[in-house]
């Protein structure tokens, strides 16, 4: 168990932030308090708390010298980082010593304070290394790569396999396997678990029963695209692949024993719940503009000359009694007037069902300050029908200089479990949990031929169809 202990560093640290202060060029050249403190070798985490803070208003000269202070929040920004130098832990403490008084709105500077450094200590231990195979699967057999643009079930025909370069003469179906990791973009943090080799994927081979893959035969398989979806609390969040718009899969010949889609193991007990609706998630996320021609964040539509855009989500059989959630992520640039903060706003509406407006605070006109201010808004309302229309309007503070950008619109909603199109993915969060046995009632499913469970996308166990409606 970690031990918690508290200390006030350097006794009483009386900080006069503009004397021997560091300069933060990433935040408008503001003076900041910065200190590096050595720690006990057993420290594994730190937290910093500001105490006994005393503030005075900025003078007119200081407001002019540091225009970026207009963006100060209601409390000074306190940042802490645990770093190591020659295997010895150190606490890096940084404080931006400005605030906007919540009661008066006046910008103030921090002139005296103490900070409390809370250390978490304990045995550090050793991180268990990843288990790597002795050799990659790519070292044996024959390999052929292809790409898919999005999630879904794909049909790989005889002609497609032939055109990849496979020698089709006497090709036995049992020689064929499919490989892919269903991971999306590799995480930037190396500690995140990921596969250390290509995963073999279960497939369905339709070869007429003769064991040979010949003209007219085909392979069915499930693949995920370059974009990944993850459940975050109660909402599905997407992670867009900033490097590719397609995901790679491989045909491997003579690599290992054939892996095929098998029937799902179903419970023989009575269901605890009947599922007739499902959670749908969709996103509109276009990469059209990079604001400073640097970094990984790309935006879509620009709200400048055109200030209104209309979008539409296709949501057949939308359940009108369950609120949907729309997330709007973007940025806006509105220049402040010296120390006076200005605001532009976005208006979002969905027909007659929903309408709201929210403000985005301006930024300083300093060349070292941020180009714009990012925002993220969650909106929720009831809606029915077969689609969710969304209209977004940018209301400029200044008709010439104010500009907005959309990063993405992301929708989480509930739909009735009715078959639409030639394939449909559905999911139910209520089915998750110990002892839960769910019976899914798929309506209008007379044309359905297969149901695969893609919770484990490399296995895709097949569920039996019964009582077709």
The answer to whether residue 69 is domain-embedded is yes
pLDDT given for residue 6 in this prediction: 36
User: Do residues 17 and 98 both lie within one domain?
Assistant: yes
* Residue scoring higher pLDDT (407 or 5): 407
Q: Is 251 helix (H, G, I), strand (E, B) or coil?
A: strand
Residue 404's nearest CA partner among 282, 268, 301 is 301
What's the full length of the chain, in residues? 469
The answer to whether residue 322 is domain-embedded is yes
CA 216 to chain CA mean position, Å: 41
Q: Is 159 helix (H, G, I), strand (E, B) or coil?
A: helix
CA pair distance 105, 436, nearest whole angstrom: 53
The average pLDDT across 1-10 equals 35
pLDDT given for residue 2 in this prediction: 33
Helix (H) or strand (E) run with residue 38 in it: strand 30-38
* Residue scoring higher pLDDT (437 or 414): 414
Q: Where are the beta strands (DSSP E) in 383-427?
A: 385-395, 403-416
CA 70 to chain CA mean position, Å: 31
Helix (H) or strand (E) run with residue 64 in it: helix 60-65
DSSP H helical segments within 73-204, as ranges?
Answer: 158-163
pLDDT given for residue 86 in this prediction: 83
Domain range for residue 377?
Answer: 282-414
pLDDT given for residue 330 in this prediction: 97
For the CA atoms of 224, 227, 228, 234, the dihedral, rounded to the nearest 10 degrees, stands at: -120
User: Do residues 346 and 427 both lie within one domain?
Assistant: no
Q: Give one word for 10, left, alpha or beta, with left for phi > 0 and alpha for psi -120 to 50.
A: left
CA pair distance 242, 222, nearest whole angstrom: 23
pLDDT given for residue 11 in this prediction: 36
Q: Give one word for 17, left, alpha or beta, with left for phi > 0 and alpha for psi -120 to 50.
A: alpha
pLDDT above 50 for 267 = yes
**8 Å CB contact between 413 and 280:** yes
User: Do residues 362 and 304 both lie within one domain?
Assistant: yes
Given 399, 414, 429, which residue is the final one in a domain?
414
The answer to whether residue 130 is domain-embedded is no
User: Do residues 358 and 442 both lie within one domain?
Assistant: no
* Residue scoring higher pLDDT (290 or 369): 290
CA pair distance 221, 454, nearest whole angstrom: 11
CA pair distance 238, 355, nearest whole angstrom: 25
**8 Å CB contact between 34 and 22:** yes
User: Do residues 244 and 344 both lie within one domain?
Assistant: no
pLDDT given for residue 394 in this prediction: 98
User: Do residues 394 and 334 both lie within one domain?
Assistant: yes
> CATH code at 92?
2.60.40.3800
Q: How many structural domains comprise the chain?
A: 4
pLDDT above 70 for 301 = yes
The answer to whether residue 77 is domain-embedded is yes
The average pLDDT across 201-213 equals 96
User: Do residues 272 and 231 both lie within one domain?
Assistant: no
Tell me: the pLDDT tens digits for 330-389?
Answer: 999 999 998 899 999 999 999 999 999 999 999 998 877 889 999 999 999 999 999 999
The answer to whether residue 32 is domain-embedded is yes
Tell me: the pLDDT tens digits for 81-132?
Answer: 888 888 888 999 999 999 998 888 899 999 888 888 888 876 544 444 567 8
* Residue scoring higher pLDDT (466 or 306): 306
Mean pLDDT, the chain, integer: 89
The answer to whether residue 27 is domain-embedded is yes
- According to the 3-state scheme, what is the secondary structure of 290-338? CCCCCCCCCECCEECCCCEEEEEEEEEEECCCCCEEEEEEEEEECECEC
The average pLDDT across 56-80 equals 86
User: Do residues 22 and 40 both lie within one domain?
Assistant: yes
Tell me: the pLDDT tens digits for 140-180?
Answer: 999 999 999 999 999 999 999 999 999 999 999 999 999 99
The answer to whether residue 259 is domain-embedded is no
> CATH code at 291?
2.60.120.260
Phi, then psi, of 313 in degrees rounded to 5:
-105, 130
The answer to whether residue 310 is domain-embedded is yes
Tell me: the pLDDT tens digits for 218-266?
Answer: 999 999 999 999 998 899 999 999 999 999 999 999 999 999 999 998 8
User: Do residues 398 and 453 both lie within one domain?
Assistant: no
Give Dmax over CA atoms of the chain in angstroms: 88
User: Do residues 272 and 296 both lie within one domain?
Assistant: no
User: Do residues 40 and 70 both lie within one domain?
Assistant: yes
User: Do residues 244 and 312 both lie within one domain?
Assistant: no
Tell me: the pLDDT tens digits for 16-63?
Answer: 445 667 887 766 778 888 889 999 888 888 888 888 889 999 988 888
pLDDT given for residue 44 in this prediction: 85
The average pLDDT across 415-438 equals 90
């Amino acid at each position: 168990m970690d031990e918690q202990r508290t200390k006030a560093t350097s006794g009483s640290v009386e900080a006069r932030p503009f004397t021997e202060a560091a300069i933060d060029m990433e935040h408008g050249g503001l003076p900041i308090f910065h200190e590096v403190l050595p720690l006990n070798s057993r420290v594994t985490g730190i937290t910093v708390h500001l105490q006994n803070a005393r503030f005075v208003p900025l003078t007119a000269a200081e407001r002019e010298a540091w225009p970026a202070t207009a963006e100060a929040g209601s409390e000074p920004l306190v940042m802490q980082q645990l770093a190591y130098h020659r295997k010895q832990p150190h606490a890096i403490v940084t404080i931006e010593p400005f605030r906007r008084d919540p009661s008066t709105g006046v910008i103030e500077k921090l002139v005296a304070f103490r900070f409390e450094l809370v250390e978490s200590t304990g045995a550090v231990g050793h991180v268990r290394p990843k288990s790597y195979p002795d050799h990659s699967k790519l070292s044996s057999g024959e390999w052929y790569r292809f790409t898919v643009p999005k999630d879904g079930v794909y049909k790989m025909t005889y002609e497609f396999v032939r055109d990849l370069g496979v020698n089709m003469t006497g090709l036995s179906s049992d020689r064929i396997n499919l490989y892919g990791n269903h991971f999306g973009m590799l995480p930037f943090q190396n500690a995140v678990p990921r596969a250390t080799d290509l995963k073999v994927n279960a497939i369905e081979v339709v070869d007429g029963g003769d064991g040979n893959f010949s003209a007219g035969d085909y392979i069915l398989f499930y693949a995920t695209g370059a974009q990944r979806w993850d459940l975050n609390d109660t909402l599905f969040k997407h992670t867009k692949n900033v490097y590719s718009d397609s995901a790679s899969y491989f045909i491997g010949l003579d690599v290992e024993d054939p892996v095929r889609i098998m029937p799902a193991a179903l419970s023989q007990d009575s269901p605890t719940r009947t599922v007739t609706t499902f959670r749908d998630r969709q996103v509109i996320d276009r990469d059209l503009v990079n604001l400073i021609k640097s970094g990984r964040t790309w935006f879509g539509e620009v709200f400048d000359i055109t200030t209104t855009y209309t979008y539409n989500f296709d949501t057949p059989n939308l359940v009108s009694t369950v609120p949907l959630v729309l997330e709007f992520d973007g940025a806006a640039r509105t220049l402040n007037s010296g120390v006076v903060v200005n605001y532009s706003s976005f208006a979002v509406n969905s027909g007659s069902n929903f309408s709201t407006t929210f403000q985005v605070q301006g930024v300083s006109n300093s060349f070292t300050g941020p180009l714009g201010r990012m925002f993220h808004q969650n909106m929720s309302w009831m809606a029915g029908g077969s689609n969710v229309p969304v209209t977004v309007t940018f209301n400029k503070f200044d008709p010439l200089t104010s500009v907005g950008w959309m990063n993405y619109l992301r929708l989480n909603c509930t739909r009735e479990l009715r078959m639409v199109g030639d394939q449909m993915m559905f999911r139910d969060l209520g089915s998750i949990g110990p002892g839960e046995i769910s019976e899914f009632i798929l309506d209008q499913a007379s044309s359905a031929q297969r149901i695969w469970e893609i919770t484990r996308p490399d296995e895709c166990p097949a569920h039996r169809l019964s009582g077709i409606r």
